[in-house]
Amino acid sequence: MTKKLIALALLTTINSYVFAERFVTISASQMAEVKVHTTHHNVPSARNYAVIKIAGLQEGCTTGVYLKVNDNPVAMSMVISAQLAGTGVKVGYEPLFKSPWGDSTICALTNFILL
């Protein structure tokens, strides 16, 4: 019985994360800034993360989204390409996952689609 309750609790938690993901279509001009924190950043937990400043995101993600550069080289390349080309994108983000360095207005980037 205990195993079934634990499994049910895990499934409920996983499902709540899946349904929290949001999507928004934006123009390149709405990506106000793309910033990368280097290994020399004064906040260790922010090192090797990029922040894409996007105004108007929901669920408290008012500054924008983040991604770990070393773990997501293709996504980072797509972000830079979209910025340079001036093309629109569709951004997926997870409001439940806030920045590792404690800024609750920056949420995890989950998808980045060139339009």
Average pLDDT, the chain: 87
Is residue 11 domain-resident? Answer: no
Q: So what's the pLDDT on residue 1?
A: 58
* Identity of the residue numbered 74: V
Q: In terms of residue numbers, what domain contains 85? A: 21-114
Q: So what's the pLDDT on residue 3?
A: 55
Predicted TM-score (pTM) of the model is 0.80
Element spanning 79, H or E = helix 73-85
- 59-111 pLDDT, tens digit per residue, is 999 999 999 999 999 999 999 999 999 999 999 999 999 999 999 999 999 99
Element spanning 45, H or E = none
Spatial CB neighbours of 53, under 8 Å, sequence gap ≥ 6: 31, 32, 33, 34, 35, 63, 64
pLDDT confidence band for 5 (50 / 70 / 90): very low
Is residue 65 domain-resident? Answer: yes
Task: Say which CATH number the domain at 74 has.
Answer: 2.40.50
